[in-house]
Amino acid sequence: MASEEKCGVLHGKYELGRLLGHGTFAKVYHARHLKTGKNVAMKVVGKEKVLRVGMMEQVKREISVMKMMHHPNIVELHEVMASKTKIYFAMEFIRGGELFAKIARGRLREEAARNYFQQLISAIDFCHSRGVYHRDLKPENLLLDEEGNLKVTDFGLSAFSDHLRQDGLLHTTCGTPAYVAPEVIGKKGYDGAKADIWSCGVILYVLLAGFLPFQDDNIISLYKKIYRGDFKCPPWLSPESRKLITRMLDPNPSTRISIAKIMDSSWFKKSIRKNLRTKEEQEFTVGDEVNNVDKGKETETLNAFHIISLSEGFDLSPLFEEKKREEKEEMRFATTRPASSVISKLEEVAKTKNFNVKKSDSCVRLQGQESGRKGKLGIAADIFAVTPSFLVVEVKKSSGDTLEYNQFCSKELRPALKDILWTSAAGSSMPA
């Protein structure tokens, strides 16, 4: 260990505690952030060992993947630090241990298994929407927090969609034999999303049965069983769960069930996990098409200080230009039309895309009726008057997934607003 670790303080930031676990290339310690007192799990990877076996690319990949994975069912990476000999991952500390430990005590009741499976599928769907495939899904890589929420970890073997060859497939064999899809073993190239679905199918089987679907002491015999999809469901599995597992453990990836179909299956949808609703969602009652909010509130007038606070510093260009961010959570546009025209346009979009609406004279709140990757999409539009005939409209994501929000803005909102956008004398219009 480096002298910094020996004295118990790392980079002057973290106080290292007990060893939580270790693998071939890493040790994980309990640590405490000195400034905030927050508990973290500190994964320590030896640079020399990683370089010796040519795994530095894998470590870099894990860092880049985890930095973009912000989801309630994925372990969060807080920061990465390095010394001359080691790389340190400060990660979310999960107290509940591995899901594997729960299964080791015996199979789970169907309701409990469904609860964990729903969270797993939510996390994997989120990864796939970002072009990331985990490729090593197994109960040991699924952690539980104190409330029993599932957290996916260990993205060391994950792949980005930009790792696909010209045939559009991945070609690296990886994962744990009992959980690996037949096409991965086959080395002919495979779809990362389909391979993850197979692994999720094995996990669901283990949760409900208490043992693996494919077992054999001889690795060649094990692979043959996996190739053929040769498994039997125990008699206590319900017909609906058997049907879903059979479709997930289809040895032909082209006919294997998709995540969208899994989420639409009757077994999955039964008693769907009720996540805590956001404040924005609570404002809406199901079935309401239009509700007035803050009745009588007039359009807020902007003075110079408001305009400066809306822009970044004293530069007003962000009011009228694209934000240079991959994932934007807000946009602004100017218009010379009255607030009522803006509200009407937003209502039209809401109607075509099945959103609930709440409105006043100066704000509109849209709430999606269907749950997305991070709950229901919520959008807030606030209207500010620079002069009586010149308005600035600020549109923000109030709940849901940023990627889904950005897709909604580019495909639905911007095209619908193009007729009312203010165009400068130079001929440029926006939203920003």
Annotated binding site for ATP: 47
Q: What is the 3-state secondary structure (H, E, C) of 361-429?
A: CCEEEEEEEEEEECEEEEEEEEEEEEECCEEEEEEEEEECCHHHHHHHHHHHHHHHHCCCCCECCCCCE
* H or E element that contains 15: strand 14-22
Cα angle 165, 156, 166; round to 5? 5
Give the count of beta carbons closer than 10 Å to the beta carbon of residue 96.
Answer: 16
Rounded Cα gap, residues 362 and 384, in angstroms: 7
Residue 84 DSSP one-character state: S
> Are the C-beta atoms of residues 197 and 179 closer than 8 Å to each other?
no
Rounded Cα gap, residues 54 and 317, in angstroms: 47
For 266-335, give the DSSP string: HHHHTT---PPPPHHHHT--TT-SEEE-STTPPPEEP-HHHHHHHSBTTB-GGGTS--S-SS-SEEEEEE
For 215-238, give the DSSP string: --SSHHHHHHHHHHT-----TTS-
Is residue 419 part of the annotated active site? The answer reads no
Exposure class string for 408-420: b at 16+ Cβ within 10 A, else e: bbeeebbeebeeb
Rounded Cα gap, residues 25 and 29, in angstroms: 14
Q: In whole angstroms, how far apart are CA 124 and each of 22, 256, 327? A: 25, 16, 20
Helix axes 239-248, 192-209, angle to 10 degrees: 150
Q: Which residues are annotated as a binding site?
A: 47
**Which residue among the candidates 136, 154, 191, 401 is catalytic per the annotation?**
136
Catalytic residues: 136
